[in-house]
Structure 1
Amino acid sequence: MYPNLSTVQGLNIEVSLARQRVYVKSGSRTIYTMLASTGMDDSTPHGTYYVQNRGVSFYNSGEGMGANYWVSWKDYGTYLFHTVPTDASGNYIVSEADKLGHPASHGCVRLTVPDAQWLYNQLPEGTKVVIH
């Protein structure tokens, strides 16, 4: 069951590149853990960022894939939390979903469809995101 983020005090997000996990936290206490895929070749930026904006879906024709339920945390859309990738028809790419738990993206943080949708719906703008 997902926590209601509107009631969480000290809400922040921690992304562990080593563990390929995203931790939703209340202060220093983890309240929910998500399996993730971050950037290959250490392409996910390290540091402290803040949630900026969001969108329902995107498609990058140059990469031949898109995703749903994106939430931006750096450079207003360059780096995102989002679902596992979709193809040009909007279908989830199972071979990419199978990579969750291992670096697989170009820098974004990929999540399961339910996890990405939950963050899209509940994660407030301005929430701190720490990536290490």
Structure 2
Amino acid sequence: MIQRIQTLYLFLAAVISAGLIFVFHLWTNNDGVEIYAINNYLFLGLFLGSALLSLISIFRFKDRKSQFVLGRLNIILNFILLGILVYESSKVPGEISFSEKGIGILLPIFSIVCLVLANKAIKKDEDLVKSVDRLR
């Protein structure tokens, strides 16, 4: 059933991971050049991998357990991405002078929130199905 609330959360996580990386920059270096995720293949791959996992999870709606597992894997992937982003932004050359962090660094956090809400809704559906099966 594609009309469930977790589909909305998963789609929102996919839009955040795949669409907003082209809009918001990750940081600005000392020369005033804005660094986007498409400038680094590692960041681009991790963001697009997260979006792909979200989209795959949307279409696994018949198997809630695998949907839940894919959500957890996506959360782990976003935490790894967040760690790499924080590490890379702290070692930007010339960090002694002021460089500006962009809102793009917060995108994995927004994605994690959406994925946690989706997993909560998936778990709620799974518990509902189990309770109905007990009544039969």
Q: TM-score, normalised by structure 2?
A: 0.28
Larger-gyration structure (1/2): 2
Greater per-residue helix proportion: 2
Greater per-residue strand proportion: 1
Q: TM-score, normalised by structure 1?
A: 0.29
